[in-house]
DNA sequence: TTCCTTACTTACTTTTTTGTGTGTACTTCC
DNA sequence: GGAAGTACACACAAAAAAGTAAGTAAGGAA
């Protein structure tokens, strides 16, 4: 009777391939999700889909980011391995950001979501108006 | 020389089909993005992909949501037209939530992102460890 | 000589988000 | 008779996120 375990959590200790579970409170996948789906995380990933960019380029492109937030968001994505940071020791500073292969994978999903929202904006806005009327009337 | 305008913003006034732009500060697409990509927004959409659920069912399934946050997140998704709310006037209250066709479309994208993260958790975690070492050493 | 540039960091303040506890209506179970 | 269960709303407190201002290094421009 060797029924395989339903989840991989009970697998062999060494080469375990654990799957995340966003529904579980302590799962680190939640943190990663917030990094990539945060307001600036999304814009960074999407921006880098068309190649490498400097800090200031990203800043100019993304309306409304403060330097602090951009730096913070980039740092999180670099730590997670989605973005590669290359800095040249010159003055003034010169730093390039680009997607890692892994970053490219997530970025595609994120971009798909972002594109859906952008192209279907009208539909959503119409729904909102209808909803308002329905509530008011 | 009637080159078509690059963006739809300059189109005819009535039947305009405007595309959102998440990079623009005042664009409402940003708000919508935060709704669907918020911590609980994601879990709600994904949960509802397998059918309709009651408030308390969602609450039990999603680890760590407070009633307040669940209600708030659901309300936003209902207003945007992603989720349909049906309540029966009985005591104790009975309310059902399900995806609208539009909600189903976004939910698929959101679920794809969530699945990528869950299956690639190990890769990300490995990257983090490497990064830590690189910084420390 | 002072300013401007870049890619940040740090300290401090303000804003936003989230949590907590309470109440509600009625029925059912103990 | 009291507790539990449901789907919230509301007020207030606590926590987290974000904004702001200032500082840094080296060189060139005004």
Whether pLDDT at B8 is above 50: no
pLDDT at site A14 = 52
Residue A23: which of B21, B24, B61 has the nearest Cβ? B61
| Mean pLDDT on A109-126 | 97
Distance, CA of A73 to chain centre: 9
Nearest to B39 by CA among B62, B11, B13: B62
Burial of B86 (0-12, 13-18, 19+ CB in 10 A): exposed
Name the token pair of A65: 């980011």
Answer whether residue A16 is part of any domain. no
> Does the C-beta of A39 come within 7 A of strand C?
no
Q: What is the CATH number of the domain that holds B102?
A: 1.10.10.10
| Beta strand spans in B21-79 (E) | 53-54
B8 DSSP 8-state letter: G
Whether pLDDT at B12 is above 70: no
Residues 6+ away with beta carbon under 8 Å from A35 = A41, A73, A76, A77, A80, A82
CA dist B69 and B62 (Å) reads: 11
Residues 6+ away with beta carbon under 8 Å from B2 = none
pLDDT at site B137 = 66
Q: Which own/partner contact pairs does B57-60 have at CB distance under 8 Å and 24+ positions apart?
A: B58/B97
> Does the C-beta of A60 come within 7 A of strand C?
no
Nearest to B87 by CA among B77, B76, B96: B96
CA dist B8 and A122 (Å) reads: 12
> Does the C-beta of A55 come within 7 A of strand C?
yes
pLDDT at site A18 = 87
Answer whether residue A115 is part of any domain. yes
% of residues, chain A, pLDDT over 70: 88
Answer whether residue B114 is part of any domain. yes
Q: Which of residues 24-63 of A touch B (CB under 8 A)?
A: 24-25, 27-30, 32-34, 36-39, 42-43, 46, 61-63
Whether pLDDT at B51 is above 60: yes
Residue B118 contacts A, CB cutoff 8 Å: yes
Answer whether residue B74 is part of any domain. yes
Answer whether residue A120 is part of any domain. yes
Residue of A nearest to B61 (CA): A23
Q: How many CB atoms lie within 10 A of CB B57?
A: 13
CA dist B46 and B51 (Å) reads: 10
CA dist B99 and B107 (Å) reads: 8
Answer whether residue A114 is part of any domain. yes
Residues 6+ away with beta carbon under 8 Å from A5 = A11
Question: For A66 and C14, how far is CA from C1' in angstroms?
Answer: 15
Interface contact flag, B109 A109, Cβ < 8 Å: yes
> In this structure, is the dihedral angle defined by the CA atoms of residues A79, A80, A81 and A82, taken in order, positive or negative?
negative
Closest CA of chain B from A68, distance in Å: 17
Closest CA of chain A from B45, distance in Å: 12
* Local structure of A94: helix, strand or coil: strand
Return the C-alpha torsion angle A63, A69, A74, A75, nearest 10. Answer: 180
Q: Which residues form the domain of B39? A: 25-136
Lowest-pLDDT choice from A4-18, A42-56, B10-24, B28-42: A4-18
Give chain C positions with protein CB within 7 A. 5-11, 18-22, 25-27
| Mean pLDDT on B31-46 | 97
Answer whether residue A17 is part of any domain. no
Answer whether residue B47 is part of any domain. yes
Burial of A125 (0-12, 13-18, 19+ CB in 10 A): middle
Nucleotide nearest to A67 (CA to C1'): C8
More confident position, A63 or B66 = B66
Q: Which of residues 70-89 of B touch A (CB under 8 A)?
A: 78-81
Whether pLDDT at B101 is above 50: yes
Whether pLDDT at B116 is above 80: yes
pLDDT at site B63 = 87
| Mean pLDDT on A12-35 | 86
Report how many Cβ contacts below 8 Å link chain A to chain B.
Answer: 148
Question: For A25 and D18, how far is CA from C1' in angstroms?
Answer: 25
Nearest to B65 by CA among A38, A22, A37, A35: A22
The total of structural domains in chain A comes to: 1
């Amino acid at each position: 009777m060797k029924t395989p375990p339903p989840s991989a959590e009970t697998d062999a200790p060494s080469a375990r391939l654990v799957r995340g579970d966003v529904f579980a409170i302590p799962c680190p996948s939640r943190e990663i999700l917030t990094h990539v789906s945060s307001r600036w995380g999304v814009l960074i990933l999407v921006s880098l889909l068309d190649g490498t960019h400097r800090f200031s380029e990203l800043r100019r492109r993304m309306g409304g980011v403060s330097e602090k937030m951009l730096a913070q968001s980039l740092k999180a994505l670099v730590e997670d391995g989605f973005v590669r940071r290359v800095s040249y020791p010159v003055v003034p500073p010169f730093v390039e950001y680009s997607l890692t292969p892994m970053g490219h994978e997530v970025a595609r999903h994120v971009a798909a979501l972002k594109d859906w929202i952008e192209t279907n904006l009208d539909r959503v806005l119409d729904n909102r108006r209808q909803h308002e009327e329905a509530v008011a009337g």
